[in-house]
Structure 1
Amino acid sequence: MRTSIVVPMWNEESWVEHAYDRIKQAIKEYNLDVQIVFATDGCTDRTIERIEELQKKDSSLLLFNHPGRLGRGRALKKAFLRVKTPFIIYMDSDLATDLKHLPQMINYLEQGADIVTGSRLMRGSKCIRSRKRKIFSTVYNFLAKFLFRSKIHDHQCGFKGFNRKNIMKTLREVKSNGWFWDAEILIRGQRDGLNVVEFPISWCDRDENASKVNLWKDAKNMGIELVQLRVDILPKTFFQMISFAGVGVSNTLVTLSVLFLLENTIGRGDWGYYFAYSLGIINSFVLNRRFTFKEKSVTKRTYGQFVGFVGVYFISMIIYSETARFLEMVIGLFYLYAATVSLFVEYIFTFSMSKLAIFREIKENESSSA
C-alpha cells in the first residue's frame, strides 16, 4: 500500500465504527490503495475495544495506542513516525471533510506535493459551520498570514496529506502537542521550502455538542502558540543582537560604578578612566561569551578570543571617535546626533566582528581537524 489514512481518536466508542465504515466505503468506491490507521490518545472509554473488534474483520487496520494522554498533535506525530507508506493522509475523526476529496489529495501527492491541505476558505469550497466558528477561523487565519506571510488560506483544516520522506525534518521541528499542530506544520513546511498545495473542499461540522473542541479555551491556546512560534523562529542573530546590546548597557554601568567608587575612595586620578574602561571590557567579554554566544567552558582558544575582543574594542573606539568627528565637523550634524549615529555604527562593527570572528561557531569538521 502507498497511502495511510491516520485518524486520531479520543473517547470515540460510539463513533469509531461509523467512521471506519465511511472510510472503507470511500476506499472501495474510489478504488484506493490505502490502509486505515487509528491513533488513539489516552482513551478512557471502550474505543480501543471497538477498534480491536474491527481488526478481527480487517487485518489491514492498524491501531497505534497511547495509554497516556499525549495531545492530538503529539499523537499524530508519533503515528507519522511509525507508518511506513510513502504518503500519509490524516483527517479528523468526525469526518467533516467530504471523502470524495481523497482521490484529489492522493493525486496531488503523487504529482510531487510535499504537503497537501484542504481549505474551507478558498473560493470554490463549501463549508457548513456555526457563525462563531467562521468568525474565529477568519480572524485566526488572518493572524497566521500576517505574522508569518503564509500563503495558506486555512491553516486549521483537519484534512491534510504528506509525503512522509520529505516532511520528516519539518515534522521533528513541530513542537505543538495540541490543535495548533495543524498550523505549525504548514508554517514550518513553507519556511523549509516544501511544496505546499491547498485546494478547496466540502466541509460539514459535526454536531457542536459532540465536538471535542473547546472553542474559547482552544482558541486562546492556539493564539498563544501562534505568538510563541513567531518568537521561536526569529533568527538566532536577532536574539544575539539584543543580548549584545544588553551587555553593552551592563558594560556602561560597570565602568561608571568603578569610576564612582574610585572617586569616593582612593581617587581616580588620570588612570581611573583606563582602569574602569578595562574592567568594562572584561565584563563585556565574559557576559557575551557566556550568554550571547553560548560558550560555557574555557578552551584553548579563550585567551586568543580575549585578545581579539580587546583589539576589536580598541578599533571600535577609533571608529566611534572618527565617525562622530566626521559627522559633526564635516557633515555639520548636531553633536548629540553625531554621537548617537556613531554609537550605532560602533555597535554594528563590534557585534559583527564578535560574531563572525571572535566567537565564530566552529563546525564539527573544523574542530576535528584542529
Structure 2
Amino acid sequence: MTVMSKSVVLAREPADATPPGTTGPESGSARLVEVVIPVHNEERVLERSVRRVHAYLAEGLPYRFRITIADNASTDGTWQVATALERRLAHVRAVHLDLKGRGRALRHVWSRSDADVVSYMDVDLSTGLDAFLPLVAPLMSGHSDLAIGSRLHRGSMVVRGPKREFVSRTYNTLLHVTMAARFSDAQCGFKAGRTDVVKALLAGVEDEAWFFDTELLLLAERSGLRVHEVPVDWVDDPDSRVDIVRTAVDDLRGMVRVLRRTLSGPAEVPVPPRKRPRITTGVRGQLSSFAVIGVCCTLAYLLLYLLLRQLTPPLAANALALLVTAVANTAANRRWTFGLTGPRDALRHQVEGGLAFVIGLVLSTATLALVRSAVPHASRSAELLALVGANVLASAARFLLMRVWVFNPRRTDRQLHGTPVPPEEHWND
C-alpha cells in the first residue's frame, strides 16, 4: 500500500454546521456527515461549487455536516482558494496533501473522520445535489453500509457524450463479467458510507487513484456488505480533464490485481456488524414456511426420481434426485423460513444442511432396499409411496437440524461477531 507523504498539512478543525431549527443531542442533527471534495488544480470552479454545496446542505440536510476540501498536490491557486473558504465558512475545512491521487485524498480524510457517515462528490457537481439526502439516509438509519449514485440506474437522467457512455458501460460490464460485481456504476463521483465500515474496508484497499472507488466496492461486496444505489441526475462536465484512456488502462490493471488477489485467497475484511433484522420468531411460523417448501421439494424430488428412474437404477435415481432437491430445500429455507439473505455463510449452511441430505439418503435407501427385499417386483407406485414416508421422516429431522443448529441465531451471531444475540432477538421457543 502506498504511504502518504509525511509533510501533509492539516488546517484547523472548524465547528460543524447545524441545520437551522435543530438543537440538542437528541435531535436528528446530532449525527454528523462529512462531505469530502477532492480537488487537483480546480481554482476556477472550487469556490462556486463549495458555496453551492454548502447552501444545499444548510437548507436541506437534517444532519450536522462538515465540508472538507482535500487538495491533492495542486500546482495552481487551489490551496489558496480552499483556505480562504475555510476562513469565510465556519463549517468548511481544508486539507492539503503533497501527493496526487483522488483515492489517496479520500483515504486520508475518511480514515481520520469522526463523522457518522463519510461521503464525497466531484468538484464539478455533475451529479445533482437532490440525490444527496437519499444517498446518506439509509446509512444514518443503519439500513445500508455503503451508498452510491448510479448513472446506469433505470431512474437516472444522464446527459453525456457517446464516448463516455460507451466507456462507462463497457467498464461496468467487465466488472460484472469478470468480478461478479452486482453494483451498477463503479465510477460515479457520488458515494457515501458508514464511517466505521469505511475505515475497516480501507485496510484492504490498495489503490490511491481512480480505481479506489471500484476496489472499495468490490471488497465491500466480498465482505457481505449492503450497497445501496441511488438514481441520479447527471450532466457531463465539458471541461473535465480526466484522461479517459489512461484511467481506463489503470482501471484494467487494478481489476487484474484484485482478481489475482481474490483467486489467491479470501478477499474480505472484518467489518462492523449492521443491526441484524429480527428473524421470523416462533416455531409455528417457521413450520408453516418449512411445510410449504417441503411439499414443493418433495414433489420435485418425486418427479426427478421418476425421470431418472428411466435412465438409472433406483438407488442412483434416488441419490441424484435427493441431492438436487436437498440443495434447493436448504437455500429456500435459509431465505424464507429463517430469514437469512446474502452470500455470508451460504456455503457453510449448504454444507451443514448436507447432513440432512445424508439422513434422507440413508432413510430412503433403506426404505427402497426393504421394499425390493419384501416385494422383488414392486411397482413404481409402491416405490413412490415408500419414498414419501421416508421423506416425511427425513423432513422432520431436517427441520430440527436447521432450527437448533444450522440457522440458530445464537450460533450464527457468535460466529460473526463473537457475542450472542440479545435475548429479545432469540427465537421464541
TM-score by length of 2: 0.53
Give the aligned residue type for 1:58: L
Q: 2:262 aligns with which of 223, 230, 233?
A: 233
Q: 1:199 aligns with which of 230, 247, 250?
A: 230
> Percent identity over the alignment?
30
Contact 2:67/2:92 (8 A) holds in 1 = yes
What CA distance in whole angstroms lies between the structure 2 residues aligned with 1:95 and 1:139? 23
* 1:334-357 deviation per Cα after TM superposition (whole angstroms, max 9, x unaligned): xxxxxxxxxxxxxxxxxxxxxxxx
Aligned position for 2:242: 213
In the alignment, is residue 18 of structure 1 matched against residue 48 of structure 2?
Answer: yes
Aligned position for 1:139: 170
Give the aligned residue type for 1:46: G
Give the secondary structure class of the aligned counterpart of 1:155.
coil
Question: Deviation at 1:138?
Answer: 0.7
In the alignment, is residue 100 of structure 1 matched against residue 139 of structure 2?
Answer: no
Contact 2:103/2:210 (8 A) holds in 1 = yes
Question: Deviation at 1:59?
Answer: 2.1
What CA distance in whole angstroms lies between the structure 2 residues aligned with 1:36 and 1:168? 19
In the alignment, is residue 41 of structure 1 matched against residue 72 of structure 2?
Answer: yes
Give the alignment of 1:243-254 within 5 angstroms. Answer: none
Give the alignment of 1:147-226 within 5 angstroms. Answer: 147-207=178-238, 210-226=239-255
Contact 2:65/2:91 (8 A) holds in 1 = no
What CA distance in whole angstroms lies between the structure 1 residues aligned with 2:158 and 2:43? 27
Give the secondary structure class of the aligned counterpart of 1:51.
helix
* 1:80-117 deviation per Cα after TM superposition (whole angstroms, max 9, x unaligned): 01221010111111111100111111211112211000
In the alignment, is residue 9 of structure 1 matched against residue 13 of structure 2?
Answer: no
Question: Deviation at 1:38?
Answer: 0.5
What CA distance in whole angstroms lies between the structure 2 residues aligned with 1:119 and 1:31? 21
Question: Deviation at 1:204?
Answer: 0.8
Contact 2:150/2:185 (8 A) holds in 1 = yes
Question: Deviation at 1:69?
Answer: 2.1
What CA distance in whole angstroms lies between the structure 2 residues aligned with 1:13 and 1:161? 25
Give the aligned residue type for 2:176: K
Give the aligned residue type for 1:12: E
Aligned position for 1:265: none
What CA distance in whole angstroms lies between the structure 2 residues aligned with 1:61 and 1:93? 14
Give the aligned residue type for 1:145: H
Task: Mark the runs of 5 or more structure 2 residues left unpaired by the alignment.
Answer: 1-30, 267-429
Aligned position for 1:321: none
Question: Deviation at 1:225?
Answer: 1.2
Give the aligned residue type for 1:205: D
What CA distance in whole angstroms lies between the structure 2 residues aligned with 1:124 and 1:62? 34
* 1:313-352 deviation per Cα after TM superposition (whole angstroms, max 9, x unaligned): xxxxxxxxxxxxxxxxxxxxxxxxxxxxxxxxxxxxxxxx
Give the aligned residue type for 1:35: R
Give the aligned residue type for 1:235: S
* 1:258-288 deviation per Cα after TM superposition (whole angstroms, max 9, x unaligned): xxxxxxxxxxxxxxxxxxxxxxxxxxxxxxx
What CA distance in whole angstroms lies between the structure 2 residues aligned with 1:35 and 1:78? 15
Give the aligned residue type for 2:255: L
Give the secondary structure class of the aligned counterpart of 2:35.
strand
> What is the Cα-based RMSD across aligned positions, in Å?
1.4
Give the secondary structure class of the aligned counterpart of 2:230.
strand
Aligned position for 2:101: 71
Give the alignment of 1:292-307 within 5 angstroms. Answer: none
* 1:44-79 deviation per Cα after TM superposition (whole angstroms, max 9, x unaligned): 11111111111221122111111x223111111111
Question: Deviation at 1:218?
Answer: 1.0
How many pairs does the alignment contain?
234
Give the alignment of 1:120-135 within 5 angstroms. Answer: 120-135=151-166
Question: Deviation at 1:226?
Answer: 1.1
Give the secondary structure class of the aligned counterpart of 2:71.
strand
Give the aligned residue type for 1:218: T
What CA distance in whole angstroms lies between the structure 2 residues aligned with 1:165 and 1:31? 21
Give the aligned residue type for 1:193: G
Q: Return closer, same or farther for 1:230/1:63 CA change in 2, 3 Å cut-off.
A: same
Question: Deviation at 1:220?
Answer: 1.3
In the alignment, is residue 30 of structure 1 matched against residue 57 of structure 2?
Answer: no
Question: Deviation at 1:177?
Answer: 1.2
Contact 2:116/2:140 (8 A) holds in 1 = no
Task: Mark the runs of 5 or more structure 1 residues left unpaired by the alignment.
Answer: 238-370
Q: Which runs of 4+ in 1 moved over 2 A?
A: none
Larger-Rg structure: 1
Give the aligned residue type for 1:57: R
